[in-house]
Amino acid sequence: KYLGEKCKYYVPKPFFDPKDCLRLILDAGGIPVLAHPFLYKFSNEDTKHLIHDLKEEGLAGIEVYHSSHHIGQITKLRQWQKEYDLLATGGSDFHGTNKPDIEIGTGRGPLFVPDHLIDDLMN
């Protein structure tokens, strides 16, 4: 009633250009990773272009293993991860009580994130 997009007290969320985000993460000594690429609802082609473009700007990895990814998406992301020489990461997307259907470490089911990914990140 008061805070919705067309309501009197609505304040739009700030938008950060992905390239600016990459620069901020890199400048802070972080490892920039694109989280859950298939949740953005782009086509496979557009997702691949996004990964390519962000790689040129400093992207270091992509979240291959995510609680919403099915085996076909994981396979595609592994392919792109290798093609663009990126790190693979994974996570359950647990954010606390605001997502009660997601369990820490397993997501919405039998999420498996290979242990060797942490070694890759550390090196």
23 lies in a domain? yes
27 lies in a domain? yes
2 lies in a domain? no
Q: What pLDDT shows up at residue 108?
A: 76
3-state helix/strand/coil string of the chain: CCCCCCCCCCCCCCCCCHHHHHHHHHHCCCCCEECCHHHHCCCHHHHHHHHHHHHHCCCCEEEEEECCCCHHHHHHHHHHHHHCCCEEEEECCCCCCCCCCCECCCECCCCCCCCHHHHHHHC
Query: Domain total for the chain?
Result: 1
6 lies in a domain? no
50 lies in a domain? yes
Encode the chain (123 residues) as per-residue pLDDT tens digits. 777 888 888 888 888 999 999 999 999 999 999 999 999 989 999 999 999 999 999 999 999 998 888 889 999 999 999 999 999 998 877 888 888 888 787 777 777 777 777 888 787
Residue-range definition of the domain harbouring residue 118:
18-122
Strand order in the sheet with 33-34: 33-34, 61-66, 87-91
Q: What pLDDT shows up at residue 116?
A: 78
């067309």: which residue's tokens? 6
Alpha-carbon span 98 to 96, nearest angstrom: 6
